[in-house]
Amino acid sequence: MAAPHTVLLLLLPLLALPPRAGGELRAFVVAHSHMDVGWVYTVQESMHAYAANVYTTVIEELMKGKQRKFIAVEQEFFRLWWDSVATDTQKQQVHQLLQEGRLEFVIGGQVMHDEAVTLIDDQILQLTEGHGFLYETFGSRPQFSWHVDPFGASATTPTLFALAGFNAHLISRIDYDLKDGMQKNKKLQFVWQGSPSLSARQEIFTHVMDQYSYCTPSQLPFSNRSGFFWNGLATFPDPPKDGVYPNMSLPVTDANLHLYAQTMVANIKERAAWFRTGEVLWPWGCDKQFFNASVQYSNMDLLVDYINKHSAEFGVTVQYATVSDYFQAIYSRNLTWEIRDSQDFLPYSTEEEGQNCFFKVQQLSDYSCIIDHFQSLVLTIIILTAKVQHHDGITGTESPKVKDMYMNNLMYGMLNVKKLMASIIFDINNAKKNGEVYSSVYTTGSGKPGATDVDQYVVVYNPLAWNITTFVTVSVSNEEMSVYDELGQSVPAQVQSSVESQSTYDLYILVTISGLSYRKYSIKPQDGKQSAFIGSSVKYKRRDLTRADQQSRQLFPVVNNCYQIVFDQNTNLMHSITVRETNQTVQFTQEFLEYHVNGDTKKGPISDNYIFAPNASAVPVSKAVGLEVMSGSLMTEIRQYFYSNVTSQDYIYAVFTRLYSVPEGYDEKLLCHRIEQEYSVGPLELNREAVLRTSTNLNTRQLLYTDNNGYQMQKRPFKAYVNNTVARNYYPMVQTAYIEDDNTRLMLLAERAHGVSSQGNGQVEVMLHRRIWNNLQWNLNNNLTLNDSSVVRPVIWLILGTKAVTNTLYRTSGLALEHRPVVMFGALSGKQKQGDADFSRVLLRIRHLYEVGEDPVLSQPVMVDLKSLLQGLGSVVTVEERSLTGTWDVNTLERWRWKTTQYPGKSSELMNFADRILVLDVCLMCEASLTTEGVLSRDQELTHPVT
């Protein structure tokens, strides 16, 4: 996706540029087409309009000229072309071009994933899927990135690419002020140590594209048409029948050949001034280009030949190139490069007005479960999930019809995963009604099942690799219910009136389940035996905040074994939280606010899908608060309703805070220490951006910490800017954020990505919802406004305590929130079906949860006994360590080692794998027996086995 608000810069005349000292410049012309997997048009529309023609015509033209080259980036469109369009001859030609190095796959993932709001697991999944296809089909293993369009750059991505075996990394979209300074000081290239734990062991050379980014300069000083886009612009829904596309560049002729050459050379020299060497990366292409590669190459051939014949005059030589050609030339220079530490390039700001790219993140769910005879189904689900990680997918910057495409794909995937899981657990042939189990399957992230009066079986699956004790929720039509486990033993449960429906009740069941296992529970109407505890309700009078007496407080506590939360009856707001273990009390208040934003381009900067540009500070939106407390033996739920005034009938905002009490004999560590909050926000008024601000008396010095992709933490000091300080201090929270003082830390754990900021000392605010409309013609033409009138229900868990205590809790708690139990229910009969997986080979990925030095105990190396871990699948026969995506044996993988200021004398050495995420290719046999152990010092997380 090209930048929606890019200011095009005029090319400088050739004579205005001084000659470069040190001899002739060497320009590497990298032909490419940026093909968004979504954005304005659906994948199907793009394939029909242009994408299929890109590969058909490029392959044809590459075969006509040995000097011609091309790079292919995302696999989504290529795989569709390969599977449904390419002929046998074209497939043979692709193999030949790859062998000759004239066609190169870079990145190689299914998509070019977003870096700000995606989880590390999903990044690895989509990258592994694409790499697996390339390796199995061509024996090809990408070694360079081309991450030119994601909105900002995370420090996780260079780490993953290094672990996947890449030799160099290329990015583009970073803060405009920062890029400007790096250009002026020739610091757009460096060695990035993305992980503070891995540091030099998994560093990677990184190239930041200059201000022209990945597109060819589009203005010609001698023409009013675009430059170097001889095939013009793609048209939708159909290619033009006459073959004449809009805005086709002037064909190269004898009359304009020298003018074209002057323009290209001027741009090459301008770019060369921003880099240390005489090698210049010159991207040739942009969005939706090369759908007619014949006209592209036939014109560029003339230009390349002309410049090279007059290289003495121009001081430049030009060659078609791949990304590897360019980086090989830089590497052979054997220069010493500066090191960048694990700091990321977020947030992303694009213009002098200081507008900050910000995203409305869709709530998207993905599942991965493998069984042999469902392999084709699972592959489809993985591809659908991978597609959503696209930088115009999960970010919410796509058009409505593309959003519908993503959501339909995910709903299809979710439904089929539920069918798959149900078929594993249940013998559906003996069910009373075939298909009944499917219609009843649900997850906690997709709503509760409909209430029923009949006896129900509830099957709860734990997707985590460790034992859990938690609550699951089921809707029932009767408050007098009993719950039993497989042995007929009574299970602790609590039932209470539902927030969502006056005719149903919410049944909270306390479950304890081993890792990667499931248990079955039966729910029955009360039969005289022990029943679920019935929660009682106390409703408090709605309070007018404008008339609340701040001097005279009426406080009441809500208590469990870990916290005492105090509310003020004068305002119905939270007043303070006491950590019972240390008796530390923190003043604690929460309020909803809205940023008012402009939608009229004539009145100043606007907010839209991409940009957050508030007019001023956020303003409170509620003048009255209602309160209801549901109390029970297992849980207390505080329901707060926020109204625009005392007489309002409907609320736009609500908070449902849950505090759990766990009976003796159950593990209460995680449950007791989390304050669970669910919010209801919307529908908003137009051009409003809604936040929840939490204010404390912690002396945080306005310092915020947020995570990169659920992988590592980043320090976010508040910075003052000339323009748009509020927005430029918003950062992505994919899973975790926290504020702290010298003694106490407040952690926020999220089940979806949010924007988060600290706009004041002791404060943290979370962006929960946006409703935007504007009259920018570009947005209107592409239907990229965000007039979202929905109601959202995000969940955030709060953990308050000492740094030591919160450290022990937040990693496992974050994963527990991300991977909540999957609940399947139905009125079923028949026996459980035994799992019949037949794994002979699995790819096992293990990740240490803690950074080096993050915790004195939890950061220590961990011993993993593979024999014990995999005993349910068979006996371990052989173990081979692999690269991140499984395509390299690490014993044969040798990465380039770039000379750095830290290690200036090691430029000639090749870099071998060391301390990292551990990826193992494990072969198993039932009759074999072998004890194998692995040692980790960074990165543990057991993923589902993959064949």
> Which residue in 36, 114, 121, 149 is the catalytic one?
149
- Give CA 728 to chain center in angstroms: 20
**Residues forming beta bridges with residue 737, ordered by sequence position:** 706, 748
Q: Clarify whether 36 is annotated catalytic.
A: no
Amino acid at 14: L
Distance CA 400, CA 412 (A): 18
Beta strands in 718-873 (DSSP E): 731-733, 736-740, 744-750, 754-757, 763-771, 795-802, 822-826, 841-846, 862-865
Amino acid at 204: I
Mean pLDDT by 10 residues, the chain (947 residues): 39 36 83 95 95 98 97 96 98 98 97 95 94 96 97 95 96 95 97 86 93 90 89 94 92 96 96 97 97 98 98 97 98 96 93 52 34 52 84 90 89 79 58 40 44 69 92 91 92 93 92 91 80 92 87 89 96 97 97 96 90 93 96 97 94 97 93 97 96 98 97 95 92 97 97 96 97 91 88 97 96 95 66 50 87 88 84 84 92 93 60 58 55 38 32
Query: Do 904 and 147 contact (CB within 8 A), yes or no?
Result: no
Query: Do 293 and 57 contact (CB within 8 A), yes or no?
Result: yes
Q: Which two tokens stand for residue 884?
A: 């991140």
Q: Which two tokens stand for residue 666?
A: 């159950």
Distance CA 307, CA 19 (A): 16
Q: Considering only CA atoms, which of 877, 878, 690, 870 is closest in space to residue 771? A: 690
- Where is 140: in which H helix or E strand? none
Q: Considering only CA atoms, which of 149, 127, 595, 119 is closest in space to residue 363? A: 119
Determine the pLDDT at residue 443.
42
Count of CB atoms situated within 10 Å of the CB of 931: 10
Distance CA 364, CA 381 (A): 13
Q: CB within 8 A of 489, min separation 6: which ones?
A: none
CB half-sphere exposure, 204, CA atoms < 13 A: 28
Determine the pLDDT at residue 357.
52
Q: Considering only CA atoms, which of 900, 757, 734 is closest in space to residue 817? A: 734
Dihedral pair phi/psi, residue 246, rounded to 5°: -65, 145
Distance CA 683, CA 770 (A): 10
Q: CB within 8 A of 531, min separation 6: which ones?
A: 480, 481, 482
- Give CA 481 to chain center in angstroms: 41
- Where is 559: in which H helix or E strand? strand 555-559
Distance CA 34, CA 53 (A): 14
Determine the pLDDT at residue 838.
53
Q: Measure the CA angle with vertex 188, ends 182 and 189; round to 5°.
A: 145
Query: Do 105 and 140 contact (CB within 8 A), yes or no?
Result: yes
Query: Do 810 and 747 contact (CB within 8 A), yes or no?
Result: yes
Pairing of strands 356-357, 763-771: unpaired
DSSP-assigned states of every residue in 577-640: EEETTTTEEEEEEEEEEEEEB---GGGS----SSEE-BSSS-EE--SEEEEEEEE-SSEEEEEE
Pairing of strands 533-534, 493-497: parallel
Determine the pLDDT at residue 938.
39
Residue 669 burial (CB < 10 Å; 0-12/13-18/19+)?
Answer: middle
Distance CA 705, CA 715 (A): 5
Determine the pLDDT at residue 786.
84
Amino acid at 240: P
Dihedral pair phi/psi, residue 569, rounded to 5°: -65, -20
DSSP-assigned states of every residue in 821-844: PEEEEE---SPBPPP----SEEEE
CA end-to-end span of the chain, whole Å? 34
717 upstream amide cis, omega within 30 of 0: no
Q: Which two tokens stand for residue 66?
A: 């040995």
Query: Do 745 and 806 contact (CB within 8 A), yes or no?
Result: yes
Sign of CA dihedral 273, 277, 279, 280: negative
- What is the pTM for the complete model shown? 0.90
Q: Measure the CA angle with vertex 328, ends 146 and 280; round to 5°.
A: 70
How many residues in the chain? 947
Query: Do 606 and 597 contact (CB within 8 A), yes or no?
Result: yes
Distance CA 225, CA 413 (A): 45
Dihedral pair phi/psi, residue 789, rounded to 5°: -100, 20
Q: Which two tokens stand for residue 192?
A: 């990035």
Dihedral pair phi/psi, residue 820, rounded to 5°: -70, 160
Determine the pLDDT at residue 377.
62
Q: Considering only CA atoms, which of 57, 52, 56, 51 is closest in space to residue 36? A: 51
Q: Which two tokens stand for residue 28?
A: 């590497």
| Residue at token pair 């408090």 | 540
* SS3 state of residue 481: strand
Sign of CA dihedral 789, 791, 795, 801: positive
